[in-house]
A = this chain, B = another copy of it.
Amino acid sequence: MYQALVGQMCKHLVQLEHWLDATVAYAESKKIDADRFLDFRLAPDQFALARQIQITCDTAKLGASRICGKDAPVHADTEKTIAEIKTRVEDVRAYLAHFGAVDYDGAALRVITQPRWEGKTMTGADYFLEHVTPNFFFHLSHTYAILRHNGVPLGKRDFLGPLTMHAPA
Protein backbone atom coordinates (compact mmCIF):
# COMPACT_ATOMS: atom_id res chain seq x y z
CA MET A 1 0.00 0.00 0.00
CA TYR A 2 2.75 2.48 0.96
CA GLN A 3 4.65 1.75 -2.21
CA ALA A 4 1.47 2.38 -4.23
CA LEU A 5 0.77 5.65 -2.41
CA VAL A 6 4.37 6.85 -2.82
CA GLY A 7 4.14 5.92 -6.50
CA GLN A 8 1.08 8.15 -6.78
CA MET A 9 2.96 10.97 -5.08
CA CYS A 10 5.73 10.65 -7.67
CA LYS A 11 3.14 10.94 -10.42
CA HIS A 12 1.68 14.06 -8.81
CA LEU A 13 5.19 15.56 -8.58
CA VAL A 14 5.53 15.05 -12.34
CA GLN A 15 2.24 16.91 -12.76
CA LEU A 16 3.55 19.68 -10.48
CA GLU A 17 6.52 20.09 -12.83
CA HIS A 18 4.03 20.49 -15.71
CA TRP A 19 2.19 23.19 -13.71
CA LEU A 20 5.48 25.06 -13.30
CA ASP A 21 6.10 24.85 -17.06
CA ALA A 22 2.56 26.20 -17.61
CA THR A 23 3.32 29.02 -15.18
CA VAL A 24 6.44 30.01 -17.13
CA ALA A 25 4.50 29.94 -20.42
CA TYR A 26 1.66 31.97 -18.90
CA ALA A 27 4.08 34.54 -17.47
CA GLU A 28 5.81 34.86 -20.84
CA SER A 29 2.46 35.44 -22.55
CA LYS A 30 1.76 38.25 -20.06
CA LYS A 31 5.34 39.57 -20.23
CA ILE A 32 5.82 39.19 -16.48
CA ASP A 33 8.56 37.51 -14.45
CA ALA A 34 7.45 33.93 -13.73
CA ASP A 35 9.50 33.83 -10.51
CA ARG A 36 7.13 36.42 -9.06
CA PHE A 37 4.58 33.59 -8.60
CA LEU A 38 6.78 32.01 -5.91
CA ASP A 39 5.73 34.77 -3.48
CA PHE A 40 1.99 34.50 -4.10
CA ARG A 41 -0.27 33.13 -1.36
CA LEU A 42 -4.02 32.72 -0.72
CA ALA A 43 -4.13 34.26 2.77
CA PRO A 44 -1.73 36.56 4.61
CA ASP A 45 -0.98 33.83 7.16
CA GLN A 46 -0.68 30.95 4.72
CA PHE A 47 2.59 29.89 3.07
CA ALA A 48 3.53 31.33 -0.32
CA LEU A 49 3.90 29.13 -3.40
CA ALA A 50 7.61 28.35 -2.96
CA ARG A 51 7.06 27.09 0.59
CA GLN A 52 3.97 25.08 -0.45
CA ILE A 53 6.10 23.26 -3.04
CA GLN A 54 8.99 22.74 -0.61
CA ILE A 55 6.61 21.19 1.93
CA THR A 56 4.92 19.05 -0.73
CA CYS A 57 8.37 17.67 -1.59
CA ASP A 58 9.44 17.23 2.02
CA THR A 59 6.21 15.48 2.99
CA ALA A 60 6.72 12.83 0.31
CA LYS A 61 10.48 12.55 0.92
CA LEU A 62 10.30 12.34 4.72
CA GLY A 63 7.13 10.25 4.69
CA ALA A 64 8.76 7.50 2.64
CA SER A 65 12.16 7.70 4.32
CA ARG A 66 10.76 7.63 7.87
CA ILE A 67 8.45 4.64 7.41
CA CYS A 68 11.31 2.82 5.67
CA GLY A 69 13.76 3.74 8.43
CA LYS A 70 16.19 5.56 6.10
CA ASP A 71 17.89 8.94 6.26
CA ALA A 72 16.59 11.38 3.67
CA PRO A 73 18.73 13.89 1.75
CA VAL A 74 18.52 17.42 3.19
CA HIS A 75 17.26 20.31 1.07
CA ALA A 76 18.14 23.82 2.23
CA ASP A 77 14.91 25.60 1.19
CA THR A 78 16.87 28.30 -0.63
CA GLU A 79 15.09 28.15 -4.01
CA LYS A 80 14.48 31.61 -5.48
CA THR A 81 13.41 30.73 -9.01
CA ILE A 82 10.95 28.43 -10.76
CA ALA A 83 13.94 26.64 -12.32
CA GLU A 84 15.47 25.96 -8.90
CA ILE A 85 12.22 24.74 -7.37
CA LYS A 86 11.66 22.47 -10.36
CA THR A 87 15.08 20.93 -9.73
CA ARG A 88 14.01 20.30 -6.12
CA VAL A 89 10.90 18.45 -7.31
CA GLU A 90 13.00 16.36 -9.73
CA ASP A 91 15.51 15.52 -6.98
CA VAL A 92 12.78 14.24 -4.68
CA ARG A 93 11.19 12.19 -7.42
CA ALA A 94 14.54 10.58 -8.21
CA TYR A 95 15.07 9.83 -4.51
CA LEU A 96 11.64 8.23 -4.13
CA ALA A 97 12.15 6.13 -7.26
CA HIS A 98 14.89 4.20 -5.43
CA PHE A 99 12.43 2.72 -2.91
CA GLY A 100 11.39 -0.84 -3.80
CA ALA A 101 8.90 -3.24 -2.22
CA VAL A 102 11.55 -4.64 0.14
CA ASP A 103 12.19 -1.18 1.62
CA TYR A 104 8.60 -1.06 2.88
CA ASP A 105 8.91 -4.34 4.82
CA GLY A 106 7.96 -3.54 8.39
CA ALA A 107 6.92 0.01 7.52
CA ALA A 108 3.42 -0.31 9.05
CA LEU A 109 4.77 -1.12 12.52
CA ARG A 110 7.83 1.15 12.49
CA VAL A 111 7.83 3.63 15.38
CA ILE A 112 7.84 7.21 14.10
CA THR A 113 8.58 10.30 16.14
CA GLN A 114 9.62 13.89 15.53
CA PRO A 115 11.35 16.40 17.83
CA ARG A 116 8.23 18.56 18.18
CA TRP A 117 6.08 15.57 19.22
CA GLU A 118 7.72 15.67 22.69
CA GLY A 119 8.45 11.95 22.84
CA LYS A 120 5.10 10.82 21.50
CA THR A 121 5.09 8.30 18.66
CA MET A 122 2.94 7.06 15.80
CA THR A 123 3.06 3.73 13.99
CA GLY A 124 4.26 3.91 10.40
CA ALA A 125 0.75 2.95 9.27
CA ASP A 126 -1.00 5.72 11.22
CA TYR A 127 1.70 8.26 10.37
CA PHE A 128 1.43 7.59 6.66
CA LEU A 129 -2.38 7.58 6.50
CA GLU A 130 -3.18 10.33 9.01
CA HIS A 131 -0.22 12.66 8.55
CA VAL A 132 1.75 12.14 5.33
CA THR A 133 -1.06 11.54 2.84
CA PRO A 134 -3.37 14.44 3.84
CA ASN A 135 -0.41 16.81 4.25
CA PHE A 136 0.96 15.91 0.83
CA PHE A 137 -2.37 16.56 -0.88
CA PHE A 138 -2.99 19.69 1.22
CA HIS A 139 0.19 21.39 0.00
CA LEU A 140 -0.12 19.98 -3.52
CA SER A 141 -3.69 21.35 -3.77
CA HIS A 142 -2.66 24.71 -2.34
CA THR A 143 0.12 24.90 -4.92
CA TYR A 144 -2.43 24.26 -7.66
CA ALA A 145 -4.95 26.70 -6.13
CA ILE A 146 -2.39 29.52 -5.86
CA LEU A 147 -1.52 29.10 -9.55
CA ARG A 148 -5.19 28.93 -10.62
CA HIS A 149 -6.06 31.94 -8.43
CA ASN A 150 -3.39 33.90 -10.29
CA GLY A 151 -4.51 32.96 -13.77
CA VAL A 152 -2.37 29.98 -14.79
CA PRO A 153 -4.54 27.88 -17.13
CA LEU A 154 -4.77 24.46 -15.49
CA GLY A 155 -7.60 21.93 -15.23
CA LYS A 156 -8.50 18.88 -13.17
CA ARG A 157 -6.71 16.58 -15.63
CA ASP A 158 -3.50 18.49 -14.93
CA PHE A 159 -4.07 17.76 -11.26
CA LEU A 160 -4.87 14.05 -11.60
CA GLY A 161 -2.39 13.18 -14.33
CA PRO A 162 -2.77 10.08 -16.50
CA LEU A 163 -5.19 7.37 -15.31
CA THR A 164 -4.74 3.62 -15.79
CA MET A 165 -7.76 3.02 -18.01
CA HIS A 166 -8.49 -0.09 -20.05
CA ALA A 167 -10.11 -0.04 -23.51
CA PRO A 168 -13.68 -1.37 -23.83
CA ALA A 169 -13.77 -5.17 -23.88
- In the assembled complex, which residues on chain B have CB atoms less than 8 Å from the CB atom of A131? 160, 163
Of the candidate stretches A22-30, A74-82, A88-96, A115-123, the one touching chain B is: A115-123
For this complex, into which size category does the number of interface residues on chain A fall?
35 or more
Chain B nearest CB from A58 CB (Å) reads 14
Which chain B residue has the least Cβ–Cβ distance from A155?
A: B45
| B163-A8 in contact (CB<8A) | no
- Interface 1/0s, chain A 127-153, versus B by CB < 8 A? 001110111011011101100110100
CB within 8 Å of B: which residues of A?
Answer: 1, 4-5, 8, 11-12, 42-43, 46, 117-123, 125-126, 129-131, 133-135, 137-138, 140-142, 144-145, 148-149, 151, 156, 159-161, 163-169
